[in-house]
Amino acid sequence: MACVFCAIIERQAPATVEYEDDEVIAFQDIHPVAPVHILIVPRRHIETLNDVTPEDVPALGRCLYVARQLARAKGIDERGYRVVLNVRALAGQSVYHIHFHLLGGRPFRWPPG
């Protein structure tokens, strides 16, 4: 299996899972850039935002809802957090399976670097 996130979804690669349901899985990033750094991933393999179809909309909406719920569970919802989606290499996408980064627990600056 070439996609590491698909391998995590199929339990063929290790991950610290924070949440999962029929559409979405969320797990800790192995290279965190904040005290809270969780990746929220649709189970269906979609390479980038450029590849999203109308059928993918419910799962992506579910990803954002899960981000909100995890932010609350981690105690960062009131202080502030960031949800990031990188698209392609120049934006920082390194795994080509669409995913959202939930980041929190420290101050962030704008614009991001």
For 12-40, how does the pLDDT look when each residue is reduced to its tens digit (9 = 90+)? 999 999 999 999 999 999 999 999 999 99
Taking Cα atoms as reference points, which of 71, 58, 52 lies closest to residue 21? 58
H/E segment holding residue 65 = helix 57-73
Residues with a known catalytic role: 99
Percent of the chain predicted with pLDDT > 90: 96
* Candidates 2.10.70.10, 3.30.428.10, 1.10.238.10, 3.80.10.10; CATH matching 4-104: 3.30.428.10
Please, what is the average pLDDT of the chain? 96
Percent of the chain predicted with pLDDT > 70: 98
Q: How many C-beta atoms surround the C-beta of residue 81 within 10 A?
A: 20
Q: Which amino acid is at 88?
A: R
The tally of CA atoms less than 13 A away on the side-chain side of residue 1 is: 13
Assign 1 a pLDDT band (cuts: 50, 70, 90): low
Name residue 38's beta-bridge partners.
28, 102
